[in-house]
Amino acid sequence: MIGIFDSGMGGLTTVRAIIERLPGYDLVYFGDNARTPYGNKSRETIIHYALQNTEFLLSQGAKIIIVACNTASSVATDSIQQTYHVPLFEVISPAVDCALQTSKHLQIGVIGTKATISSNIYPFKIKAKCPEARVFSQACPLLVPLVEEGWLNKPETRMIVKKYLIPLKTRQIDTLILGCTHYPLLKKSIQAKIGKRTTIIDSSIAVADSVADYLQSNPEIDSQLSKQGQTTFYVSDVTEHFQKTAETILKRRVHLNYVRL
């Protein structure tokens, strides 16, 4: 099984991308919606949650882990890697690679939660691979609650998106990384406000591509993964809202199992 976790529902955009890219692979998803958001919590707390989430997915039979949360990827990847010896995928590196392949003028924007942006992980990773790149970051703390509320197409949301993107637009970025797994759900509004000349990098698609490439070049790991086309969903709080949003994102019926970590 492929284990995927997020602080809540944003990681379902990664589930959607994995199902499209690797149809037939069994997935186990954990959404930590009782403790969401992670984006404004301390490093220590985010690491503690990420380790618990990983342990839970391993106990369910996951053979590889995807941290489908930019916030947890930003601060907890090293701790997970040091604690559990399992193939681990985070959403930052694939998005960085994709942005560097895409950007013509190396003017790259990144949007994310406060924790992701203040970790500086994106500029660090981009500049490590391409020192001449210029990176402009913007924390967008209001976007996660708007997505959670289902306000995807409201004029108020478009206004807030516009306000956040103005500084990046002024810098004439040609590539924009969606550094939060909730943001693909706002992709239309973001694209409309940043302009069609800026290419948007969706980290959920980037990580799905990198997992697929990895499995192709590591058949011994691939052969350990069950492939009955089943996805099992666990959450730390079963709510009607999560259920509805999950079904909207995945366009199918979803059964939520409750787990307390």
Catalog residues that contact ligand DGL under the rule CB under 6 A: 6-8, 10, 36-39, 69-71, 112-113, 116, 144, 180-182
How far apart are CB 177 and ligand DGL at their closest, in Å? Answer: 12
Which of 8, 109 has the CB closer to ligand DGL? 8
> Known catalytic residue: 98?
no
- Is the CB of 31 or the CB of 63 nearer to ligand DGL? 31
Q: How far is the CB of 52 from ligand DGL (least distance, A)?
A: 15
Q: CB nearest ligand DGL: which residue?
A: 39
**Residue among 146 and 215 whose Cβ is closer to ligand DGL:** 146
Catalytic residue of the set 98, 130, 140, 180: 180
First to last CA, the chain: 20
CB of 104 to ligand DGL, least distance (A): 27
The smaller minimum CB distance to ligand DGL, of residues 29 and 38, is found at: 38
CB of 67 to ligand DGL, least distance (A): 9
User: Which of residues 28 and 215 has its CB atom nearest to ligand DGL in the complex?
Assistant: 28
What residues pair up with 109 in beta bridges, in sequence order?
136, 176
Nearest approach in angstroms of CB 216 to ligand DGL is: 26
Is 140 an annotated catalytic residue? no
* Pairwise CA distance, residues 133 & 107, whole Å: 6
For residue 111, the Cα-to-chain-centroid distance in whole angstroms is 12
DSSP state string for the chain: -EEEEESSSTTHHHHHHHHHHSTT--EEEEE-TTT---TTS-HHHHHHHHHHHHHHHHHTT-SEEEE--HHHHHHHHHHHHHH--S-EEESHHHHHHHHHHH-SS-EEEEEE-HHHHHHTHHHHHHHHH-TT-EEEEEE-TTHHHHHHTT-SS-HHHHHHHHHHHHHHHHTT-SEEEEESTTGGGGHHHHHHHH-TTSEEEEHHHHHHHHHHHHHHH-HHHHTTS--S--EEEEESS--HHHHHHHHHHHTS---EEE---
Smallest distance from ligand DGL to CB 114, Å: 8
Nearest CB to ligand DGL, comparing residues 39 and 215: 39
Bridge partners (DSSP) listed for residue 177: 110, 201
Residue with tokens 């079904």: 247
Enzyme catalytic residues:
69, 180
